[in-house]
Chains A and B, each alone.
Chain A
Amino acid sequence: MNYHWNWGILLAPEPGGTGTYLAYLFVGLGWTLATALAAWVMALTIGSVVGTLRTTPYKWVVRLGNAYVEIFRNIPLIVQMFLWFFVVPELLPKALGDWIKQVPPPWGSYFPAVLCLGLFTSVRVAEQVKAGIQSLSRGQGMAGTALGLTLGQTYRFVLLPMAFRIVLPPLTSEFMNVIKNSSVALTIGLLELTGRARAMQEFSFRVFEAFTAATLIYLLTNLLVVFAMRALEKKVRVPGLISAAPTAGGH
């Protein structure tokens, strides 16, 4: 292959003076994880609420939940990023919009990215939670009513504890998806790992060294995350209960 390799570039200082290129990439990993964690927590919170609401017997609540899911599921992630970053500040009252636009990078990109990613992922979480609750036998809900519990109490003490243990495996694989999707934030200026790999390629002209390093870092992160998630699942698993089937491939 007619390409001149130079692995030493990883140890060369990057133009911003913050250290070597390798350190530059690892800081990017830090931003990736920070974005992913914040978004995942947000997604779990909102998604659980929406998913639960979609299983209630109130028709209008279910319809609202469905509308929410359809909106965030049918717009591509990058388009949602652009909406949050470029469009929303323009639609808000001028003072508020200007204040948002003045927030310096990287926070100016971090918050819209977390918001966008959190809402996007909350839809998938909502689907999982709904499937989890609906996979419980209907007898559980009826038993709750027979014992004199209100709807809220039935959910809180009977259905949700079981449902969450069932859906934990798919939820933890969602975390891996969030990490991958965080790379889309480079389009709004967040310098996470992929964005930094591209910046490194632009400054140093070393295309393949930069992207190989980023690829290896992602694979390593993937291994560690899978490992940690397996450990978490083992602790929380209820023996004898089959987990909810995962939905279509997707990513």
Chain B
Amino acid sequence: MTLVRLALALLASATLAAPALAQEGTLKKIKDTGSITIGHRDASLPFSYYDDKQQPIGYAMDLCMKIVDAVKAELKLPKLEVKYQLVTSANRIPLMGNGTIDLECGSTTNNIARQEQVWFTITHFVTANRWVAKKSSNVRKLADLKGKTIVSTAGTTNIKQITEINAAQGLGMNIISANGHPEAFQMVETGRAVAFVMDDILLAGLAAQSRSPNDYEISADALSVEPYGIMLRRDDKAFKAVVDKAMSDVYKSGQINPIYSKWFEKPVPPKGVNLQLPMGAAFKKVIANPTDSGDPKSYQ
């Protein structure tokens, strides 16, 4: 969806908000059950992860709470129960498709291929696909990974991409698929794999929480640009309109700045790690002109 169509849709939904939208799909489900189910992650710091009391917190979770408030106001519900469902990279899309979750708030890359299964709202972060390795391994360029064992997480765009690159460029890498990000990082830590290919923001979080963060370095080479988006069900125009409006309101009003700062520039629970990552240029562009594009070129 281009920017113009998005702007028109927002305008239309704003003007048509007074008469009740023909409530079908997710909005109807929420109204009927009085609850909304949020899919979250367990270890995608700082987007969506468990604190030490096993409660889901994070940057994406805060944004989703704003969306929940908007949905509640839109449906004029006196109260809206929020249910949480843990999801993994591997099952988040099927669980959205089969109705288990209504929103997925984490670190999911928005791309054209996935838009055949699910829809995304406005991008909430722009990251890139890189790898982390021990400094002592000396793997700084993609060519250094030739013939080595690397690991990535099951169900991610990263593992699919590295598998394709491996085949296309004949690098002969051995690719291990791990169940989750901490497991994959462990493989590098214990020496089973030389590098862990994943979004650089997640790698930064994992390295910062490790026993000796200084042993690791994230590659300068980036394999692709990955815009993160909160997922919702496909073909659900009414719900998407509400969610998009909520997100762009947060951006336009400037509420995004303290939220971003809380998770990326200050110490975050549970270990008080501070990522010290000011807002990147690509993301600032998105805030100025909110987009839900799945095409990496829109973010250059």
Contact = CB atoms under 8 A, between A and B. Distances in A.
Interface of B: 90, 93-94, 116-117, 149, 154-155, 160, 163-164, 166-168, 174-179, 190-192
A205 B117 contact: yes
Interface residues of A, number: 22
A102 B176 contact: no
Most buried by B among A17, A201, A202, A203: A202
Given A16-B167, A17-B168, A189-B176, A101 B94 contact: no
Rank and list the top 3 A-B pairs by shortest CB-CB distance, nearest first. A17-B167, A202-B155, A104-B174
Contacts of A207: 94
Nearest to A199: B177
B166 A16 contact: yes
Interface string A52-84: 000000000000000000000000000000000
Contact of B167 (A15, A90, A199, A205): A15
Q: Is the interface of B mostly helix, strand, loop or mixed?
A: mixed
A198 B117 CA distance: 17
Given A101-B191, A207-B94, A202 B167 contact: no
A194 B141 CA distance: 34
Interface of A: 15-18, 89-90, 98, 101-102, 104-105, 108, 187, 189, 191, 198-199, 201-203, 205, 207
Contacts of A191: 177
A15 B93 contact: no
Nearest to A108: B192
Contact of B149 (A15, A18, A104, A205): A104
A3 B179 CA distance: 26
Given A18-B167, A205-B93, 20 more contacts: A15-B167, A16-B164, A16-B175, A17-B168, A90-B190, A98-B191, A101-B192, A102-B149, A104-B149, A105-B149, A105-B176, A187-B179, A191-B177, A198-B90, A198-B154, A199-B154, A201-B94, A203-B160, A205-B117, A207-B94
